[in-house]
Amino acid sequence: MQKEPYREVNSMSSKYREMNKKISAFCGYYNNAHSNRPSGASDETVFAIAMSKYHTKEVGAGS
C-alpha cells in the first residue's frame, strides 16, 4: 500500500519560484553592496547594508 505524495509537484514548484525570486533580489542587493563596499567595511557591514536595502525596497514594497 503506497501513500499519496506529501506535496504535489506544482505546489513545490510554486513555492520554489517564490523563494527563488526573493533570494535573487537579495543577491542583487548584496552584490551591489559588495561591489561598492565602503572603505574598511567588514563582511558583516556589507551584509547589513544589503539587508537594509532589501527590507526597504522589497519587504517595504509588499513583495
Domain count for the chain? 1
16 has pLDDT over 60: yes
Given a cut of 90, whether residue 3 has pLDDT beyond it is: no
pLDDT over threshold 60, residue 52: yes
Q: Which residue has the higher pLDDT, 63 or 14?
A: 14
Q: Do the domain assignments include residue 11?
A: no
Instruction: Please report the pLDDT score of residue 1 as a whole number.
Output: 60
Residue 14 lies in a domain: no
Q: Hey, CA dihedral for 50, 55, 56, 59, is it positive or negative?
A: positive
Per the structure block, which three cell numbers stand in for 41? 567595511
Amino acid identity of residue 32, one-letter, is N
Euclidean distance between CA atoms 35 and 15, whole angstroms: 30
Q: Helices 43-54 and 9-35: crossing angle, nearest 10°?
A: 120
Question: What is the reported pTM?
Answer: 0.74
Residue 44, domain extent: 20-59
Share of the chain above pLDDT 90, in %: 63
